[in-house]
Amino acid sequence: MTRQKTLRTCKAGHRYYKSSDCNTCPVCEASAKQNNSWCAGLSAPARRALEGAGIDSVKKLSMFTKAEILALHGLGPSSVPKLHAILAANGQSFRDSKR
């Protein structure tokens, strides 16, 4: 059994052939991985602030308190709800500053 490969265009305008029902664009997928997909929802300055502090994963983010994260240059209070959501989605949270 062979399935016809069809030409598709993703939201970003990449054109690719796929035969499966999966609509994932390989170009977007690859660039998302390169751009640290774990924090893809954040603004560019916020991502740079995290990278500058060596935070490149949810696990590392969970080792910081909210106050420490807010002290990073370029990371404003508007990013905190997004970080909370990222942490919660991975079963993590900010480090408790009281401990």
**Where does this chain bind Zn ion (CB under 5 A)?**
10, 12, 14, 25, 27-28
The nearer residue to Zn ion, 32 or 87, going by C-beta atoms, is 32
Q: Which helix (H) or strand (E) holds 34?
A: helix 26-34
Please classify residue 74 by burial: count the beta carbons closer than 10 Å to its beta carbon, then call 0-12 exposed, 13-18 middle and 19+ buried. Answer: middle
The least CB distance from residue 56 to Zn ion, in Å, is 23
The least CB distance from residue 41 to Zn ion, in Å, is 17
The nearer residue to Zn ion, 41 or 52, going by C-beta atoms, is 41
Which of 72, 70, 74, 80 has its CA nearest to residue 46? 74
The least CB distance from residue 17 to Zn ion, in Å, is 13
